[in-house]
Structure 1
């Protein structure tokens, strides 16, 4: 039954059925994908619809409206956010040719906010909070018994825009957000950075060609290139008691093919709770510093982007990278002390 075709309305109705049955979003997505095939419904998408159901909105149809249907807009916005956790409301608005305020309102109604430049649910569910506490306790206890941070390789991606205008965010009142906006209809040029690093520095990175996105096949090819880079730059890791791989829950990372590839490489994937940029060194450390470095930059080409990134990585010494990784136990401890809630400060 893996090749069955399911309409959007049917998928939403199935999710509503499992919501009524008392299942959580992750369980519902797993069941749907086991019947209709992998990636029929992502966990993020299921969680979005479960939040709608909890708010009392059980409408699963795309009602005809003037212009783009609201549900269609929401679906497309959420699809972009799922594929690019760092997407700005401005870039989403330009891509979909809708008002930036519309994007902001949809994300706000869906319960999303930005933490460390990453879209996450504004209010974590009880299960999310318990998962964060449980995983942090597990990692903290393991690291005390068998320190593994110096065996950890961190994987992540971030879109790099050619134009990096420094924007100032401020609230004028409860409903209006003031932000500098680019010319309407202008689609920002950007390229995807894929980077792998550890406590000693950058191991490998790739800046994809303009217009190319990451998929499972490409990611598995990148893992082979990463293996070669580790052998050259970190031979001690190859001969150690095993590489611990840190990655988040974006689709190319969690596909069955990717998981199988990581098993073939013999790399252990460390536990990481979803919606937790405050526990991801790339988000709370590397990418924040990178954004400050590139702030105000106007780059004419992909090559210019790559040159600036090369300079950024080279200008950071071992102390910088080590600080970002070795901060993790403190982050885990704080999450436990704050009952799973997001951290408002780093370190």
Structure 2
């Protein structure tokens, strides 16, 4: 390969040497010498004084590009400029700072931020200060790209909730106790809007759940609902309305079928669903849903009552309840002056109730069995009197003794002595009432005369009304619960266990009994004198 005259003239005949400092690079010193236009000679200087000349043909090695004669290349200055470009990156790596990455040239570049472990699909949108801890060290172009990206995110938030964004953030971040708007009933759509706001603010699903529970407390959506709506917003579905459900419309729950089933049921309320299906030709499941959802009917069993009350008896119950309520309104401490009592049989064996016989079993084993049982012949009668503070007097009727008016008079005398000893304030004031039911011994003429003679006011009680007697709806069921299902050998053991059961009743339970008595008065009035246990009232 031969050079032209112009090319040869551009190279100088004198020698030019370019050297690097041996102390900086720790390499042998290299000198490049150009003697003429045809030969390039490279000399390597080692610590050994011997030099090694290498003669390279121009056809095998290209000539280095050199500048014009009047320009001098300062390699030391070039090296310092390269080190200055590398210094920020090296220092950031040594200090453990995260260096934002950018995508390739020609594509839109956004800062890539680490994602949470529980949400790998979406980059976390952080504040500008969190993304770049050292603002003065980042390139100017990358800063501009980051500002554009954050501005775009803020624009997306304003597009969705620009009007209500401040209100939504306040509703999420403030607890309900400090937020007066939480006093009103909370709509689920409001919580969905809050979840969407948290998503647009860059919160994770777990952080959103915590904020929703903190803000809405007991009325907050459950974990599965929060995560479901968060997933919808993450997938791009920004609507807070429920998705339309697929499926063909119902052809059985029509107005005509509802009226048909209602007519069949009103003709005989005891008809089963199988009978209704056979008479109407409507499927069993459709009949069940129409009865429960459209007609609001449910199957209930009849409750045992002492007897069917006449119209006069119902009205007497209402009148007495209204009179007692008026007395309570006039004298708020009336219940503190009432001593109520009654009699009950205690058996050596009393069969346990159906509720007491229930037990928790796994699904596989068969149900437990029990035989029909009858009450034991061993029994004794207990007479109790109590007030709002607790038991005042109790005793057992001797075996073979009938509770007649003579025996009941002796019981009342012993009750007087118990009141004098246990309730001295009532005894000194003489302002207390006796309440008992309408048993023959209680309504005897001699008993009424004794009460009037000794200044014992009698609180009237309606006929056939165990649901209004505290002994019948509270004391005796509470005591029998500890005795039923257990066997006792003799009367003495029955009496002992019965007294122990009475002692285990707390004082606060007696107070609750009188509060329950007050509510039963109102329920009897609402039921217009009918038996009301098991019924619900608005």
Per the shorter chain, which TM-score range? 0.5 to 0.7
Distance 1:257 1:295 in 2: 37
Deviation at 1:343, TM superposition (A): 1.6
Corresponding residue number in structure 1 for 2:455: 266
Distance 1:277 1:197 in 2: 16
1:340 maps to 2:529: yes
Deviation at 1:269, TM superposition (A): 0.8
How big is each residue's C-alpha offset from its partner over 1:186-217, in whole Å with a ceiling of 9 and x where there is no partner?
A: 97221111111111111111111223221111
1:292 maps to 2:481: yes
1:136 maps to 2:321: yes
How big is each residue's C-alpha offset from its partner over 1:251-293, in whole Å with a ceiling of 9 and x where there is no partner?
A: 1100001111111221111121111111000000011111211
Contact 1:191 1:208 survives alignment (8 Å): yes
1:42-191 equivalences under 5 Å are 114-115=304-305, 120-121=306-307, 123-147=308-332, 148-168=334-354, 180-182=372-374, 188-191=377-380
Which of these two proteins has the greater Rg computed from alpha carbons? 2
Contact 1:166 1:296 survives alignment (8 Å): yes
SS in 1 for 2:442: helix
Q: Higher relative contact order by CA 8 Å / sep ≥ 6: 1 or 2?
A: 1
Contact 2:350 2:376 survives alignment (8 Å): no
Corresponding residue number in structure 2 for 1:306: 495
1:233 maps to 2:418: no
1:203-242 equivalences under 5 Å are 203-240=392-429, 242=431
Contact 1:216 1:258 survives alignment (8 Å): yes
Task: Check 1:124–1:263 CA distance in 2 against 1; reply closer, same or farther (3 A cut).
Answer: same
Distance 1:335 1:240 in 2: 32
Distance 1:252 1:241 in 2: 24
Greater helix share, structure number: 1
Distance 1:187 1:312 in 2: 19
Contact 1:209 1:302 survives alignment (8 Å): no
Distance 1:179 1:263 in 2: 51
| TM-score (structure 2 length as normaliser) | 0.39
Distance 2:379 2:488 in 1: 10
Task: Tell me how large the CA RMSD over aligned residues is.
Answer: 2.2
Distance 2:342 2:512 in 1: 18
Contact 2:346 2:498 survives alignment (8 Å): no
Contact 2:349 2:376 survives alignment (8 Å): no
Deviation at 1:249, TM superposition (A): 0.5
Corresponding residue number in structure 2 for 1:67: none
Distance 1:197 1:346 in 2: 28
Deviation at 1:232, TM superposition (A): 0.5
Deviation at 1:297, TM superposition (A): 1.8
Contact 1:157 1:192 survives alignment (8 Å): yes
Contact 1:168 1:180 survives alignment (8 Å): no
Aligned length: 219
Contact 1:129 1:341 survives alignment (8 Å): yes
Deviation at 1:240, TM superposition (A): 3.2
Distance 2:461 2:528 in 1: 16
Contact 2:343 2:383 survives alignment (8 Å): yes
SS in 2 for 1:143: helix
Distance 1:279 1:346 in 2: 15
How big is each residue's C-alpha offset from its partner over 1:124-179, in whole Å with a ceiling of 9 and x where there is no partner?
A: 1000110011110000011110131100000100011111221449xxxxxxxx99
SS in 2 for 1:260: helix
Contact 1:335 1:343 survives alignment (8 Å): yes
SS in 1 for 2:398: coil
Distance 2:376 2:489 in 1: 15
Distance 2:319 2:520 in 1: 14
Which segments of 5 or more consecutive residues in structure 1 lack a partner in the other structure?
1-112, 170-177
Contact 1:135 1:271 survives alignment (8 Å): yes
